[in-house]
Amino acid sequence: MPLSPTAAVKEVQDVSLLAAKAFGSIFRRPHYVRDILIQMELIGVGSLAVVMLTGFFTGAVLTLQTSKTLSTFGAVGYTGALVAVSLVRELGPVLASLMVAGRVGSGIASELGSMLVTEQINAMRALGTDPIKKLVVPRLLATISMLPVITIVADAMGILGGLFTSVFVLNITPNLYLNRAWDSLRYMDLFGGLLKPLVFGATLAIVSCHCGLRTYGGTQGVGRSTTQAVVASSILIIVSDLFLTRIILAYTR
């Protein structure tokens, strides 16, 4: 169903309010350390396999594609450099975040949505516990802290995938590939590549929690919220990537 302009503005307002409440609650007691650690395991460790596979094969494909273009300039040896920079600056953070959005965003929205429609959220409030502190803050902190780690894994696996293709398909020596990759990377590339997942993590956690917490319409509503969480966080990750890249490039020239 298309959103009316008023509903869209209200949606943005609700997401902003939830974000403000969640960030404001981070430093207020009680601190649910156990819940944060559980979420870190679910989000971080749970996403490793899918992110490793995605990173590896993206790196491998990227190497094949770029080597074809580079070969026209006689610069196949620079494949490692191009792959590493592309992965660390852009593909690693975005792909890892999109994978986590699909896996974790849907999980968060469906879990909170189910709790809402079965009145567990109301029961929690009735028992004197703030659902934002108990449910939203641990998911937010876990996503923000684990996404950069997952991104590093995706970057490493991508470079490894590229190395695999370079050595076995393009016949580039491992030393050449790795040296070019290492030499091409700057500290600001790493900074930008790790800043992005922080922002993407916060975005996908808040959007997914919001979608879950405004679920209506029973189990069908839970399904709808889950889809909306994945679609909205994926779009927001891609859109915010453009603005973040512009800002990072402006400050790192």
Instruction: Please report, as ranges, the residues that interact with another protein according to CB under 8 A.
Output: 30, 115, 118-120, 122-130
Q: Quick one: 120 or 179, whose CB is closer to another protein?
A: 120
Distance between CA 249 and CA 243 in Å, rounded?
10
**Shortest distance, position 166 Cβ to another protein, whole Å:** 46
Q: Quick one: 40 or 170, whose CB is closer to another protein?
A: 40
**Shortest distance, position 227 Cβ to another protein, whole Å:** 22
Q: List, in sequence order, the alpha helices (H) in the chain.
A: 5-25, 33-40, 46-72, 79-86, 92-100, 106-117, 120-126, 131, 137-168, 174-184, 187-213, 218-252
**Shortest distance, position 208 Cβ to another protein, whole Å:** 17
Residue 151 near residue 92 (C-beta atoms within 8 A): yes
Give CA 148 to chain center in angstroms: 8
Those residues whose C-beta lies under 8 Å from the C-beta of residue 134, and which sit 6 or more positions away, are 32, 35, 124
Distance between CA 240 and CA 253 in Å, rounded?
20
Q: Quick one: 83 or 108, whose CB is closer to another protein?
A: 108
Q: Quick one: 127 or 242, whose CB is closer to another protein?
A: 127
Q: Quick one: 126 or 242, whose CB is closer to another protein?
A: 126
Q: How far, CA to CA in Å, does 110 sit from each of 42, 104, 140, 155?
A: 15, 10, 16, 29
Q: Quick one: 67 or 226, whose CB is closer to another protein?
A: 226
**Shortest distance, position 112 Cβ to another protein, whole Å:** 12
Q: How many CB atoms lie within 10 A of CB 36?
A: 17
Q: Quick one: 124 or 190, whose CB is closer to another protein?
A: 124
**Shortest distance, position 128 Cβ to another protein, whole Å:** 5
Quick one: DSSP state of residue 118?
A: T
**Shortest distance, position 211 Cβ to another protein, whole Å:** 19
**Shortest distance, position 143 Cβ to another protein, whole Å:** 19
Distance between CA 152 and CA 242 in Å, rounded?
20
Distance between CA 122 and CA 55 in Å, rounded?
41
Give CA 15 to chain center in angstroms: 18
